[in-house]
Amino acid sequence: MSDIPPVDPTLHRLRADLPRLTADLAELVAVESPSEDPRATAASADAVTALGSRLLGSAPERHGAHLVWSHGATRVLLIGHHDTVWPVGTLARWPFRVDGDRATGPGCFDMKAGLVQLFHALSLRPSLDGVTVVVNGDEEIGSPDSRVLIERVARGARAALICEPSADGALKTARKGIARYRLEISGRAAHAGLDPGRGVNAAVELAHQILAVAGLGDGETTVTPTVLAGGSTENTVPAAAGVAVDVRAYHQAEFERVDRAMQGLRPVLAGSRLTVHGGVHRPALPPTASARLYELARTVAAELGLAAPAGVAVGGASDGNLTAGYGIPTLDGLGPVGGNAHAEGEWVDLPAMAERAALLAALVDRVLRPRA
C-alpha cells in the first residue's frame, strides 16, 4: 500500500482547471485599469463582473468601479481590487505572456491573479450563504471612495480574507498603518535679482522643515517626505512651497508621537508661516487581528497536503488595514505567489494559483463551519 496521502479533491480539481485559471487571468490582464482613469476602471469592472458572474452564478451590485456579491448577512468577507498602477498603453509593449510555469503582464500579480483564485475557490462551494465579496477599483490610491462601502458590508463578519499578493508565498499577518500629511509654507515673493532681501523664501523654509520631518522616523516607524512643489518663476523668491509626508507605523502610539511632532513644527525664517494638514489614513493591521486565522490557515494547509505558509509583517497597507480597524479578524496575503509588484517583470507562479485557491476555499469553509 502506498504511503502517499490522497490528494484533496478540491485541490485536485483546481489543478485540473489550471488552464482555465490561466485563461481567466489573461482576460483580466488584457483590460488595463489604472486607478485614476474612470473609463479604464469601468471597462475592467465589466471584465471582473463577467468572470465573477460566470463562476458565482450571480451578478454583483455595482457601485461605479466597485463590485459587491452579497449572499445574505456577511459572515466571511473576501476582498480584492482590480485597479493597478500601470497606465493605459503598457500592454502594447508588455502584453500578458506565459513562459513555463510563470505568467507575466501588468497587474497580474497585484492583484488580478488573486481575483481569479478568489472566484474559482468560491465556485466550488455548494452554497455561498454568508459569503460577501468586494472587488474595488481604487485600492491602489487608498480606497478613498470604496472604504465606506467596505465598512458597510463588513458589519457582522467573523473574518475578512484579503486576496492581496503573498510575500514570496508568506501570508501577511501584520501591516503597517499609514498617516499622510501635507506641509504648506507661505513666504513673500520678491525679485530674485533686484530685491531678494525683501522676500521670505518659502523654499528655504521648506528645506528646514523637510530636515526636521525626516528626523522623526524611529526604528520601524518611517517618516518620508515625498512630493515637493514650490516657486513660480526662476527669477522670483518663492512665496509658497509644500511637501507631502508619508508615515508608516505598526503602533497607534507611534502615530500619535509623529502627529504631535508634525503639529508642533514652527517656522525658522522670520516672516514665514506654515500649516499642517492630515493624519492617519489607514490604521495598522496588528498581529493580534490575524493570529487565529493564521493558525487556521496553517491547519487547513496541512489537511490539504500543502506546506504550512509562513507569516510576515510588511510595510505596505491594504484594505485589510480597514477591516482590522473595524475589529474584524483579518488575514492578508491570500492571493498569488509571484513577485515584482508595481515593477517591470511582475509575475505569477501559475501552479501555485491552484494551491492558493484551494487554501482559500478551505479557509472559507472552516470559518463558515467551525469544528469543535
C-alpha cell at position 121: 475557490
User: Residue 34 in 3-state DSSP?
Assistant: strand
Distance of CA 40 to the CA centre of its chain: 19
Closest among 48, 60, 51, 53 to 132, alpha carbons compared: 60
C-alpha cell at position 243: 511637501
Closest among 101, 124, 112 to 13, alpha carbons compared: 124
Residue with cell 461605479: 64
d(CA 223, CA 243): 12
Query: Of these residues, 24, 83, 110, 355, which one is catalytic?
Result: 83
Axis-axis angle for helices 9-16, 18-29 (nearest 10): 60
Distances (CA, A) of 295 to 134, 292, 331: 24, 5, 10
Residue type, 244: A
Is 139 in the active site? Answer: yes
Closest among 281, 270, 2, 315 to 141, alpha carbons compared: 281
Is 83 in the active site? Answer: yes
Distance of CA 194 to the CA centre of its chain: 51
Which letter does DSSP use for residue 198 in this model?
G
Query: Of these residues, 139, 332, 346, 355, which one is catalytic?
Result: 139
Axis-axis angle for helices 9-16, 350-368 (nearest 10): 140
C-alpha cell at position 102: 510563470
Tell how many helices (H) and how many strands (E) occur in the chain: 11, 16
Beta carbons of 135 and 49 less than 8 angstroms apart? no
Catalytic residues, by residue number, are: 83, 139
